[in-house]
Structure 1
Amino acid sequence: MDELIDILDADGNMTRKTAMKSEAHKNGWFHQTVHIWFYTSDHKILLQQRGKQKDVYPLLWDVSVAGHIGAGEDIIESAIREIQEEIGLTTTPPDLDKIGIFKSIQNHSIALKDYEFNHTFISKLNTPFSCLQKQESEVEALKLIPINQFSEEIKEISKYGYVPHNQSYYETIISKIFENLL
């Protein structure tokens, strides 16, 4: 789905320009997204398998919930909206623990350049897995796996079918979740 988004400079500052997401991807313009990683008190992490119709990384395992931040949209409101859309879960701002903003540059093709600043959150999943409702148009599947298993599998990203995020990004996520579980 195409949508109007804010355009950022290479340092993550607002430029006061907006564009359709498709135009930003075509031209390699920086923009904002939200990433929300859910974990459970029994040390599991919620993963999302990207839909088979996605332009990039179809059917690979990825962050629990992710999406673009609309033009002028508040970051927290965007995260809450994406969570509701993608997994059918109602959350509130105190449920979200922001752990950082990660710059990501992915040149998928001449016509698809994904230059993002990912506002990244972790959140404890207090709802039973069976109550989650995946968004059929975006999400192929959901699964919970032990965080220790995830930590080992991301060492061989392609073997286990994960989106090839930067290794330090994955390590930061795991570290922050373990800090919250202590």
Structure 2
Amino acid sequence: MDEYIDILNDNDEVSGKTCLKSEAHKLGLFHASVHIWIIDYNNNVLIQKRAADKDVFPNLWDVSVAGHISAGENQLVSAIREIEEEIGLSVLKEHLYYIGTFKKKIVHKINLIDNELHHIYICRINFDFNSLKIQVEEVSEIKTMKLKKLIEEVSKEKNKFVPHGNDYYSFVFNELKKI
């Protein structure tokens, strides 16, 4: 789904310019997204498999929920909205813990460039897995894994997970262990 997003400046701040997400990706314009890692009180981490027809990294396992921050939208509001849209889970802002940002620029092809600032959250909440409803345009499957097992899988089975990079995964996994 195409939507208007804010373009960021070199200081990671909203520049005052907006454009369609497709245009930002075509031109490699710097913009923001949210990544939400959902973990329950038994250390089960929810992960999603990206839909088969996604432009980038189809059929790879990824963060619980991720999405672009709409133009004019607060990042916390965006995180809550994306969780509801992608997996049908309603959360409160009190469930979300902001852990930091991560910059990433990947040139997938000449007219598809991800140049993003990921605002990363952990959502600590117990949930009924069977009541979750995936957004099939974005997600093909969801499952939970014990945190320890997920860490092992990401390091051993790199071709099955979105290649966010060792620094990203180390940062997130260290924060999840602290919870």
Q: Report the TM range for the smaller structure's normalisation.
A: over 0.9
Q: Deviations over 1:41-73 (max 9, x none)?
A: 222211000011110000100000000000001
Stretches of structure 1 lacking an aligned partner (at least 5 in a row): none
1:169 is matched with 168
Following TM superposition, by how much is the alpha carbon of 1:171 offset from its aligned partner in structure 2, in angstroms? 1.2
1:67 is matched with 67
1:42 is matched with 42
Q: Deviations over 1:49-104 (max 9, x none)?
A: 00111100001000000000000011111111100000101111111000001111
RMSD: 1.1
Q: Is the 8 A contact 1:47 1:64 kept in 2?
A: yes
1:78 is matched with 78
1:32 is matched with 32
Identity %: 44
With the length of structure 2 as denominator, give the TM-score of the two structures: 0.96
Following TM superposition, by how much is the alpha carbon of 1:111 offset from its aligned partner in structure 2, in angstroms? 0.6
State how far apart, in whole Å, the 2-side matches of 1:51 and 1:39 are: 22
Q: Is the 8 A contact 2:95 2:125 kept in 1?
A: no
1:22 paired with 2:5, answer no
Give runs of ≥4 in structure 1 deviating > 2 Å: 156-159
State how far apart, in whole Å, the 2-side matches of 1:164 and 1:130 are: 28
State how far apart, in whole Å, the 1-side matches of 2:125 and 2:62 are: 16
State how far apart, in whole Å, the 2-side matches of 1:96 and 1:19 are: 28
Following TM superposition, by how much is the alpha carbon of 1:158 offset from its aligned partner in structure 2, in angstroms? 3.0
Structure 2 residue matching 1:134: 3-state secondary structure: coil
